[in-house]
A and B are shown apart, each in its own frame.
Chain A
């Protein structure tokens, strides 16, 4: 099958800049879990489409602002997560819940803004949508409806599954040296698992009976779709994990023995191991050849107090990072091997999702061709 993307899409800085504006500047991008900012003035910071974004709980409502004080453009917050009012640490400007300047120290004597200038002093606000516990931000001035990006059935599913999230999660950001699209394509391509993860991920799948495993494979592969809404989808497959006592103490999502997989275009893969552990992995572009892999992992909410929850989350995160690092080893080698004259890749029919991803990507990039 002919690939949609060319090598230049993975290595050219110009393409990266266009992606930032045309893809990440216009689509709904996952920002954080609502549980992570569930208290008054709790916040998260992200870099989306090259801009610093502050996601703030203001009076119970989640808002997103450019994380940049209108005075000297200093970021209001530098931590990834925290709890604080919106106050610029540089000169003490205070902002209200709507992002308007509330007070400025020694305003009259030092600044003497006109009323018109004063009225214009506010943080740039971005659109926010929450699907269950998943918070998305759109940087566009006239953002598309989130239902254009995610089908109602998928939204319903995300709302249902995320209602099982524990309020505490573990978060890490791992720098890797490859283009973000390689990682999204990698999670779309389950055929790499026996070769790259023979001792970590594969045994979970192998422990399921062959018949059940075969049921999850389609008999015929569909034609790739380049529609935006078709790039985000969910699947389930059988899995078998070792039982632990804490499993009986939590509110599991879905039937036992199920691996849930969600692909959220353009850069999120959200999985759940048996409805007990939930991992959102996001591939945040840093440059044409660098990505930040952001992991947010939580457990199913518990019916009793679980003092060992940090240990449980740490243990699962360690396992997930181990799997990622197996991919990283190969993907970094792949990225390093790419050059302007690399030949085109050859996709098989099973890679229809991967080809569709490339076609939809090009539509949103308005068929930008590499130089």
Chain B
């Protein structure tokens, strides 16, 4: 069924998710006549042009969806998403018709569920998180805001992912895995246990990298 909301959806983005959406609007229940689109050629342009772009739309008449790939631990997407929210725009949640969201699942705003994804029961996906094609989340998985889950990734039940998580394609997180903030996993794993905030495993890296200092290896001192 097509979206009956009279408001126009403004689809803004750069990268693979944006292209997937544009190519397949009907599968998300979107009426192409009620969709405006704006493609950025380079992620670097987003911060510079975001304000100007958003100024031409109104929160009363337009809804937004921001589809920027996982550049800079999703901060590039946050540039647009954050400004849009501050201006009072309502952000859409887009779920592909071939994907399944289990009972009691909670999807926040600006969440994208790609084709063929299976979101298990009681999963919670926070704002501005993009879930790729063919992803499988088992029951009670919680993903904090500004995440990116690459296609084919599988996440075991009760896993917890902190904000700005970036999982590459075909990554496997076993049940009860916990990821802190700003964790990037491009190697497939399987991963289990606890991965501290600011842990980076790049695709071909021989070893992990980790953030150190206040807020990571020790707590931030109280502000006097």
List A residues at the B interface (Cβ < 8 Å).
33, 35-39, 41-42, 79-83, 167-176, 245, 295-296, 307-308, 310-315, 317-318, 321
Given contacts A174-B207, A317-B209, contact A82 B217 (CB under 8 A): yes
CB pair B202 A318 closer than 8 Å: yes
Q: Could you say which interface size class chain B belongs to?
A: 20 to 34
Is residue B215 contacting chain A, with contact meaning CB distance below 8 A? yes
CB pair A308 B72 closer than 8 Å: yes
Q: State in angstroms the CA–CA spacing of A171 and B210 once bound together.
A: 5
Given contacts A39-B218, A39-B219, contact A172 B210 (CB under 8 A): yes
Q: Which of A35, A80, A81 has the most CB of B within 10 A?
A: A81
CB neighbours (8 Å) of B198 from chain A are: 170, 310
Tell me the B199-220 residues at the A interface (CB within 8 Å): 200, 202, 205-219
Q: State in angstroms the CA–CA spacing of A46 and B80 once bound together.
A: 42
Q: State in angstroms the CA–CA spacing of A237 and B38 once bound together.
A: 42
Chain B 47-83 per-residue mask, 1 if CB under 8 angstroms from chain A, else 0: 1100000000000000000000000110100100000
CB pair A170 B47 closer than 8 Å: no
CB pair A308 B208 closer than 8 Å: no
**Pick the contact of B212 from A81, A307, A315, A318 — CB < 8 Å?**
A81
- Write 20 A-B pairs (CB below 8 A) sorted by A numbering: A36-B217, A38-B221, A39-B214, A39-B219, A79-B217, A80-B210, A168-B215, A170-B200, A172-B207, A172-B209, A174-B205, A174-B206, A175-B206, A175-B207, A310-B164, A310-B181, A310-B182, A314-B182, A318-B202, A321-B205
CB neighbours (8 Å) of B218 from chain A are: 37-39, 41-42, 82-83
CB pair A315 B75 closer than 8 Å: no
Is residue B184 contacting chain A, with contact meaning CB distance below 8 A? yes
CB pair A172 B75 closer than 8 Å: no
CB neighbours (8 Å) of B184 from chain A are: 314
Q: State in angstroms the CA–CA spacing of A171 and B217 once bound together.
A: 11
CB distance from A287 to the nearest CB of B (A): 16
CB neighbours (8 Å) of B217 from chain A are: 36, 42, 79, 81-83
CB neighbours (8 Å) of A174 from chain B are: 205-207
Specify the chain B residue showing the minimal Cβ separation from A84. Answer: B218
Given contacts A42-B217, A314-B200, A318-B202, contact A171 B73 (CB under 8 A): no
Tell me the B88-123 residues at the A interface (CB within 8 Å): none
